[in-house]
A and B are shown apart, each in its own frame.
Chain A
């Protein structure tokens, strides 16, 4: 993300130089990893046989890829919507500053350090067929298929829960620093709650909300452990598919895993590019 626009033509140079060490290290890992994956997916690093440039790895998974792409995008989109709705509401409650705001802030802060895999295991213990809730209500087989079911509810619930805390804390930061004075002025001028929400709180937090939504979207698109633990075996989201292929005991499957990973990366870049284009058009972002 660009720093706040500075006046004058020379000031970008020292800034770039100062960031260079960090950027270079990150770029070496990220770009190096992606270059390797790309080369492997194109058949340039085969485990056996001579290297040759080919798209066979992409073609081999052509049947499953569209389904995987659709499923991954759907899970990421649903998780993002849930996380943003819950997170934004939580941020509004936190900014009010009363005791319940402090409680929500504390809950959000406690949620952040829980690893996703622990969260997924907890959701499984809570919501699965033989989970805690099913036993508590003694449903005897009529429990809905939340974990491993056709609608991936357990997966979306886990992402929604974890990421809503992230969204809430980020949006709270923006609201607390940018919105309070406008909010107070509007109150003094007689604006009601709904009008303040519509004309001040939502517009001011929209850029932050967009950025955190993008992060949530890209994260839930690219991570595998939650979908693997709480999902079903078929169809598979892209990261689960990539991991299965990577671990397959077939020597030709590794390029296919790399191909799936490259497709996931392209989708993520697409999501980030869309979000940045939208932000660049938004007057509040500048």
Chain B
């Protein structure tokens, strides 16, 4: 008796609070992206004074963190903007935060600026997560080349002023030249090497960013070059050209680390395997980190960059302002500062971060160009011109989840 009546009381309160919760949630349908309302750069700088801008960025790159903390944040402070760095394990966390804020109808969100590109940018744009049309206001945008394909399209998604360029990157494979006596010169050669040396090669499991780009490199390779892979995604092409990719990867799997029954979950895990000498190759989209890792002894001293004759995939990464940010002016001031020749040159220094510049050197004056010419060369990583030789374009963002899902289904689950 006692038990059943207390149960009904509890049940009643559950119903009541569930109804309250549903009411609360149904009240907030997706809001329209915040309006800009700025006509000139002077209005932006005036509005930015005293604002606090939270920059959400991948926190696993210590040099990147140090650059932002020691160079970009003091630079923003001189412009009256307080910049705070929010480290995230994956840029998807920042996008998810913005999407949640959009669902909740927030207009003064926690994310003011995101270091982003690729499918995260594309997904966010589709969901209306980004402020758009603001980059033309930035004075430093004239120093970039508007026809540069890497800056006009982000993994096939037109940028359309929804994000300001920040870095250029080149997918890079590194190897230990002490253990790999005859390094391959093509990606096909690398896969053959892996089959001849069982257990000494692996790649991070997509959807890890690096593992994902590796599978796209293999797709280019098995298709006979990137020119045979259309950048725009369509299901028919996917069905036609990907069996060769997954066939090759399945054939390769038994020769991988742990017989390909499992894979490193993240590129950090692959890097740890490489640092521990368990595999002979690692790969990264940020070759800048290699210099310091070798200098510190984390990576073998004989680490070298593998240059592939067919080239590797290159891309650019950007700073985007979420539509839910309440400090859009401050975020625009920071994005403009990050594009300045001084900041871009400081960032390109391999001792600082070593991220390649997005500026077009032809558009710089002599003093600005001198900033870049002064930079020291890395003993491990070749210059951007060498690395980006024959650079392949990134496939459109729609390819990425499709390739990752099929990899999961066919290569990972298939064993």
**Interface, chain A (partner B; CB < 8 A):** 2, 5-6, 9, 12, 16, 20, 23-24, 27-28, 31-32, 35-36, 39, 45, 47-48, 129-130, 145, 148, 150, 228, 232-235, 244, 246-251, 254
8 Å CB contact of A233 from B24, B119, B120, B205: B205
10 of the cross-chain contacts (CB-CB < 8 Å) are A2-B6, A16-B6, A35-B25, A48-B126, A130-B278, A234-B413, A248-B401, A249-B95, A251-B127, A254-B99
Q: Whole-angstrom distance between the alpha carbons of A251 and B401 in the complex?
A: 11
Taking CB atoms, residues of chain A closer than 8 Å to B17 are 24, 27-28, 31-32
Taking CB atoms, residues of chain A closer than 8 Å to B120 are 249
Nearest CB of chain A from residue B413's CB, rounded to whole Å: 6
Taking CB atoms, residues of chain A closer than 8 Å to B197 are none
Taking CB atoms, residues of chain A closer than 8 Å to B119 are 249
Asked if B310 is an interface residue, CB under 8 A from chain A, the answer is no
Taking CB atoms, residues of chain B closer than 8 Å to A45 are 25, 103
A-B pairs with lowest CB-CB distance, top 4? A32-B21, A130-B276, A232-B262, A249-B119
Residue among A2, A35, A130, A234 having the largest count of chain B Cβ atoms under 10 Å: A234
8 Å CB contact of A148 from B18, B93, B262, B400: B262
Taking CB atoms, residues of chain A closer than 8 Å to B185 are none
Nearest CB of chain A from residue B29's CB, rounded to whole Å: 9
From B7-15, B142-150, B326-334, B358-366, the one touching the partner chain is: B7-15
Nearest CB of chain B from residue A151's CB, rounded to whole Å: 12
Asked if B20 is an interface residue, CB under 8 A from chain A, the answer is yes
Q: Whole-angstrom distance between the alpha carbons of A113 and B289 in the complex?
A: 36
B383-400 interface bits toward A, Cβ cutoff 8 Å, 1 = contact, 0 = none: 000000000000000001
8 Å CB contact of B22 from A27, A39, A254: A39
Those of B240-284 within 8 Å (CB) of chain A: 258, 261-263, 265, 272-273, 276, 278
- Work out how many contacts link A and B, with CB atoms closer than 8 A: 96
Q: Whole-angstrom distance between the alpha carbons of A32 and B15 in the complex?
A: 10
Asked if B207 is an interface residue, CB under 8 A from chain A, the answer is yes
Taking CB atoms, residues of chain A closer than 8 Å to B272 are 130
* Extra 4 A-B pairs, beta carbons < 8 Å, given A249-B123, A250-B401: A16-B9, A39-B22, A233-B262, A249-B401
**Contacts A12-B6, A250-B401, A251-B126: A39 and B14 contacting too (C-beta < 8 A)?**
no
> B405: nearest residue on chain A (CB-CB)?
A250
Q: Is the CB of B13 within 8 A of A150?
A: no
Asked if B412 is an interface residue, CB under 8 A from chain A, the answer is yes
